[in-house]
Structure 1
């Protein structure tokens, strides 16, 4: 293949390639999607061809050898047709120069993720927008544009979505909701009672019993509560969930592929619901980027970003006492979380956590 052909993409000659990798070991599935999309945005800005390389080293929680080496390609079609291995081969052969291959540093990725005003984002960070409604609408429109142009779920994923809809989505009105629990900590969590009140309002407003509620949650207690309150009306994915403060994506005993697929299925199934309720967490907002309506109840607008150091954050499970723990047990849990976070935040802790699978098992939080 000629050099000019290699650097031609989407009807335009390009200046090189941008390799998009993950630098955040604490990233859940939603965060990985955001890192990928912001990487694509960076590629656009420098007129480069994006190549997403989410590998075992950078994304250990979602890696599954049975599905290959690139985690992005477990779930999505390639954004461009080339691979990192091909790029390296072309450099060795002298077809490309190393200066034509660009990378995003860890510092740049972190800066973009929380500070860049032009970034794709599901929630604000250190700089609170003056008008939250306008900010969310703007980011949602941007997210929808990028998803429509660049994101193509694999055919086997789409077939699963179709099958679930055909067998479980039976009512004329489906309320979809995402309620985050477990380790969610970067923003003020929305209590389950707020969801109950909004579901009740929507049902009363329609005055029609032909409805179902699709519940997407990482917290088993939340699903139990919805089933108790809306018996016979709740539908959900048979997914791995947590009954404590540890997010399911950190469960080492579960297939990395399974953990990723379950989140993506929740996102896509939520996007098919006629009304969507969501909080500040990424999964609910990402679902809106895959849908074409604005029938939304956005609890994120009542939330706030927690402007604290990582070591001072407290999980939703703990903040809302989801497990109904005694005062003493809750204090002990909060202390344990804080000690682990402080260690991981330290220089030596970061190195150990990044390099050791055993350390990540011991330091679940």
Structure 2
């Protein structure tokens, strides 16, 4: 008690009591400054995002042009950096491949020399080292001339279905890019619909795949070994089953009814009966790719352990399991790509709506489609022969891209349109779309490896007239 009284009468304590309100006010002020500093950090990020990300706001497919005065190669190099966009946040391997095919086709149609760079994405490798993960999966093309070329054109990654039309669009009233195309034909069924896949779509995509998406030797050797060991002497049915909740929601948003597991089983049963009636002495194998262990188990119980083939892969255990077990990004990509290539080597293909199914379908132009949700008209369309060969289809793509480039320049928009776009972006950042913020972070994270880094960060994009000049239009 004596010590307490001494402490109470001490000089520091008296000063504290005398000025306690002033000290309390100072503490509140310091806390306010800390909060203000943190808040201004967020505000600063938002306004930098608005300043530096026109390609995520105004432009369907802008490009940046980088002039290298030390370059000696006169070719215009078209650099495709699809991983700059939302590839860090849930974009699947097959979706990334389809976006890349679309961009390669656009570059070729413009007369540019395409090369692809994947930096960080969900299916790439360890972040932050600047490695081109495209060459982990595919043979590299035109990489050497990137540094040697006088002019580089860098495709921006973000896409808007209502913007500049894809070279693959053929129907008036349809929308979307290759990644959006559907196996179903929804024209006359819904007000707005994505382009249905046609024989011409398949032929042109396969033309690009043949030149620019050949598997890397590591992947090709693994696929060939599996095929020779288990599939070479059989009639093979490739089956892709995707049933998880997220995929069902996606189909519902596109006004389609998600199939059930038994729908796939029934189609395979009928197909086996038809094959057996025609080739009684041939062994039939089923190569199954699925996102669920439950599907593997069901197929083996229906068709036999020896008949059903699959690779070891990360899957959910059941329909109620909404989480895929995580492996390294490279391994996940390897598994998806291996499934695609092995299914493309089959004689028949049972599938529903899926970008994995689309890439498989494009890899083999002779693979016969059994689209589970389709009707007779879908079957005829998907298994028809193209009306034109690939060279003529590419010539049409060149003509289409030449017409598309003659559009109103995005920089001709009114001041009000620009303010409105930026205001909408700020609102989404602050109040609605967390996914949008994640996309921006992915963009900034990967931007350091971009060959047009300065141009993108300054929002210094090419106008239509700039592109037309490079195309000699």
1:145 aligns with 2:207: yes
2:275 match: 206
- 1:218 touches 1:247 (CA, 8 Å); kept in 2? no
| Alignment size in residue pairs | 296
2:186 match: 128
1:270-309 aligned within 5 A: 270-299=343-372, 301=374
CA displacement 1:92-133 (0-9 Å, x = unmatched)? xxx736xx4333252458856999725434733999346999
TM-score (norm 2): 0.54
- 2:105 touches 2:167 (CA, 8 Å); kept in 1? no
1:254 match: 327
Q: Name which of 100, 103, 111 aligns with 2:155.
A: 103
Superposition deviation, residue 196 in structure 1: 1.2
Superposition deviation, residue 353 in structure 1: 7.0
- The alignment partner of 1:44 has SS state of helix
CA separation of 1:102 and 1:355: change in aligned 2, threshold 3 A: closer
Counterpart Cα distance in 2 of 1:33 and 1:134: 18
Superposition deviation, residue 35 in structure 1: 1.1
- Looking at CA atoms only, which structure, 1 or 2, has the larger radius of gyration? 2
- 1:43 touches 1:49 (CA, 8 Å); kept in 2? yes
- The alignment partner of 2:198 has SS state of helix
Residues 126-135 or 237-246, more deviating:
126-135
Counterpart Cα distance in 1 of 2:309 and 2:197: 32
Superposition deviation, residue 74 in structure 1: 0.8
Superposition deviation, residue 293 in structure 1: 1.4
CA separation of 1:109 and 1:140: change in aligned 2, threshold 3 A: same
Counterpart Cα distance in 2 of 1:2 and 1:162: 45
- The alignment partner of 2:80 has SS state of strand
2:37 match: none
Superposition deviation, residue 204 in structure 1: 1.6
CA displacement 1:27-61 (0-9 Å, x = unmatched)? 101001011111112212332222322111xx144
Counterpart Cα distance in 2 of 1:261 and 1:5: 37
TM-score (norm 1): 0.69
1:219 match: 292
- The alignment partner of 1:96 has SS state of strand
Structure 1 unaligned runs (5+)? 9-13, 303-341, 357-365
Counterpart Cα distance in 2 of 1:126 and 1:234: 27
- The alignment partner of 2:285 has SS state of strand
1:43 match: 107
| Higher RCO, 1 vs 2 (CA within 8 Å, ≥6 residues apart) | 2
- 1:77 touches 1:151 (CA, 8 Å); kept in 2? yes
CA separation of 1:41 and 1:3: change in aligned 2, threshold 3 A: farther
Counterpart Cα distance in 2 of 1:343 and 1:147: 37
1:158 match: 220
Q: Name which of 146, 155, 169 aligns with 1:117.
A: 169
- The alignment partner of 1:37 has SS state of helix
Structure 2 unaligned runs (5+)? 1-67, 171-176, 252-256, 376-427, 443-473
- The alignment partner of 1:79 has SS state of coil
